[in-house]
Amino acid sequence: MGRYGLKPSRQSAFPEKPLGSTRRDSARSWIVLVLIATALVLYISSEQVQRTILSLIFPSETQFTHTRKTILQMTTAHISLTLGATLLSAVVGIVVGIAVTRKAGKDFQQLVLRLNSFIQTFPPSAVIILAFPVLGFGWKPALLALFLYSLFPILGNTVVGFQSVSPAVIDSAKGMGMTWFQQLWIAEFPQALPMIFTGIRHSYILNLGTAAIAAVIGGEGLGTIIISGLTLRNSALVLSGTIVISLLAFLGEQLFHMVSSGR
């Protein structure tokens, strides 16, 4: 049964790949992935590399690293926060998304979709600043704020993904005697998957950025170096944090791209 459910679809949201060039594209994707990963590892693991690059751009600057924390530490915290929040939102978003697209939960569907578009209008900084008085200070509140904020893209996309399954398909699935679970797993989920995937990707990128702002309420990510760069008027520090976040974004995009096109 697993084979049915998890096979990536060639339909809908996943871009159609031109025939014949699959192999070359696949090789190219891997090369890009390895390049980004290498750049990231080189940069975060060696202060020498950071110093060399940053001094090229800001020759007059003298301080290139944060006084208390290494880039490696901050990156680890940043990744944990981002992935943790994304994973949580994915699990909760998909489960709730499935629930409200079932017969019993249909009543809540409109509510969920409306809440989704409402929350999308909040800028990330507002989310963090609003979270502070309510949730307090530290990485746990940061995680909670990120989770709540990134839940809705996944939830919304899950609902839309399941809504896009044609009634004829559901009908024929029922008509051939599929159980409730088989209908969900074999007939519907694979068709909703591209949309869900897009939601997860969106939410990952969103979290990557919001996690930086979360430094103000004690999320110990790359926002720490960016904020101290801003207070010290040291652009090199801001850039250093930004470089890593950008590389993480590229890496994520590339991974999502490769998984969704089945390479």
**Residue 29 touches another protein, criterion: CB under 8 A:** no
- Tell me: does residue 102 bind another protein (CB under 8 A): no
User: Could you tell me where the DSSP H helices lie in the chain?
Assistant: 2-6, 22-45, 47-57, 71-101, 109-120, 124-135, 139-163, 167-175, 180-182, 189-213, 223-231, 235-260
187 lies in the site for another protein, by CB under 8 A: yes
Burial class (CB in 10 A: 0-12, 13-18, 19+), 238: middle
Interaction of residue 169 with another protein, rule CB under 8 A: yes
Under the binding rule (CB under 8 A), the answer on residue 17 touching another protein is: no
Shortest separation between residue 103's beta carbon and another protein, angstroms = 13
Q: Work out how close the CB of 179 gets to another protein at its nearest, in angstroms, rounded to a whole number.
A: 6
What does the per-residue mask of binding to another protein show for 137-166, with x meaning CB under 8 A?
Answer: -----------------------------x
Give the nearest distance from C-beta 125 to another protein in angstroms. 40
Give the nearest distance from C-beta 167 to another protein in angstroms: 8
Q: First CA to last CA across the chain, in angstroms?
A: 22
3-state secondary structure 196-216: HHHHHHHHHHHHHHHHHHHHH
DSSP single-letter state for residue 7:
S
| Residue nearer to another protein on the CB measure, 147 or 189 | 189
Q: How far apart are CA 97 and CA 158, in angstroms?
A: 5
Q: Which is nearer to another protein, 133 or 177 (CB)?
A: 177
Which residue reads 């629930």 in tokens?
99
Q: With contacts defined by CB under 8 A, how many residues of the chain interact with another protein?
A: 23
Q: Does 176 bind another protein (CB under 8 A)?
A: yes
Whichever of 13 and 37 has its CB closer to another protein, that residue is 13
Is the separation of the CB atoms in 214 and 142 below 8 Å? yes
The token pair that represents 232 in the structure block: 């010290």
Q: Which of 86, 116, 157, 191 binds another protein (CB under 8 A)?
A: 191
- Whose Cβ is closer to another protein: residue 178's or residue 216's? 178
Least gap, CB of 128 to another protein (angstroms): 39
Residue 137, CA distances (Å) to 142, 148, 213, 225, 228 in order: 8, 16, 13, 18, 18
- Residue closer to another protein by CB (options 117, 172) is 172
The C-alpha R_g of the chain, in whole angstroms, comes to 21
Contact between 179 and another protein by CB under 8 A: the answer reads yes
Closer to another protein at the Cβ: 83 or 178? 178
- Residue 156: other Cβ atoms inside 10 A: 23
Phi, psi of 62 (to 5 degrees): -110, -30
Summarize as ranges the residues that interact with another protein (CB under 8 A).
4, 7, 9-11, 166, 168-179, 182, 186-187, 190-191
